[in-house]
Structure 1
Amino acid sequence: MEPRISIITLGVQSLTESYNFYHHGLGFETSGTPKDGILFFKTTGCCLALYPYQQLAEDALLEASTKPSFSGITLAHNTHSEEQVEQILKQAELAGAKIIKPAQTTSWGGYHGYFTDLDGYLWEIAYGAMWQFNPDGSLLIK
């Protein structure tokens, strides 16, 4: 297997509300609409997809009766400055996100904060002076 993640799919309760959050609220680009039954958002590195939670569980042959409050997974967006961390957290909050951890200095020398989207998926918005980026905006991993 090649070390690559092609798509991250989030199971959502309302495709329409999540579409509005990610597309209109956060500005993620897509050519799809909720009527398509699944949404694919253009991101650098991999694709973010939204699919109805119940249908995603059924597709994987799993029980979808409850969702854990914390799955042990975070999605991260790395920025070029501390100011961008603040701006993105505010943008997410205005779009309906819940701020879990306001932006602050980290123990590892960076600056970050966390929010959850409409379905409780945890996003970290982080800046680190030590990080470098590829020309396409993806994080450079050496």
Structure 2
Amino acid sequence: MEQRVSFITLAVADVARSRAFYVDGLGWRPIFDNDDVLMLPIADRVLLSLWSVDGFAAEIGEAPATGLAPITLSHNVATEAEADAVLAEAAAAGARVGAASHREWGGYSGYFSDPDGFRWEVAVNPGETGDFVLRPRR
């Protein structure tokens, strides 16, 4: 099996509310959009799928767990100023935002929550892993 992820699917309470945040607020462009699901290209061959809870449950055969999911999605940038700008943009779109700070692992990051509480990290990650996520795939 090839080592990759093609879709990240999150069950959301209200697709219209998610659309207002991601598309209208953050300016992301969907590749597919209807009342039940919103699909957003987020990387080379990777889609973020925001699916209604009912549609999600019908597909997988059980309701999703409730409460804060033990997962973060990360958006890496090259500089602290870029991280602060992304966090400000998320706040303007209606996200709950925590202040960025220098981390003990040597980076700089802050977090915001989308309308369903999914946590996004905005990070400057020095070193190999930061270089890997920021440079174009060849």
TM-score (norm 1): 0.84
| 2:136 aligned partner, one-letter code | P
Which residue pairs with 2:104 in the alignment? 107
Cα deviation for residue 106 of structure 1 reads: 0.5
1:1-43 CA distance string (max 9 Å, x none): 22110011111111111011011211211143344x3211122
Q: Does 2:61 match 1:61?
A: yes
Does structure 2 retain, via aligned residues, the 8 Å contact 1:39–1:49?
A: yes
Does structure 2 retain, via aligned residues, the 8 Å contact 1:19–1:34?
A: no
Q: Which 4+ residue blocks in structure 1 deviate beyond 3 angstroms?
A: 31-35
What is the SS of the residue equivalent to 2:42?
A: coil
Gaps of 5+ in 2: none
1:39-72 CA distance string (max 9 Å, x none): 11122131111110122023111134x6122x21
| 1:56 aligned partner, one-letter code | F
- Alpha-carbon RMSD across the aligned residues, in angstroms, is 1.8
Q: Which residues in structure 2 correspond to 1:1-142 (within 5 Å)?
A: 1-35=1-35, 37-45=36-44, 46-64=46-64, 67-69=66-68, 71-99=69-97, 101-130=98-127, 131-132=130-131, 133-135=134-136
Matched residues in 1 for 2:71 and 2:31: separation? 27
Aligned residues: 133
Gaps of 5+ in 1: none
TM-score (norm 2): 0.87
Matched residues in 2 for 1:93 and 1:74: separation? 17
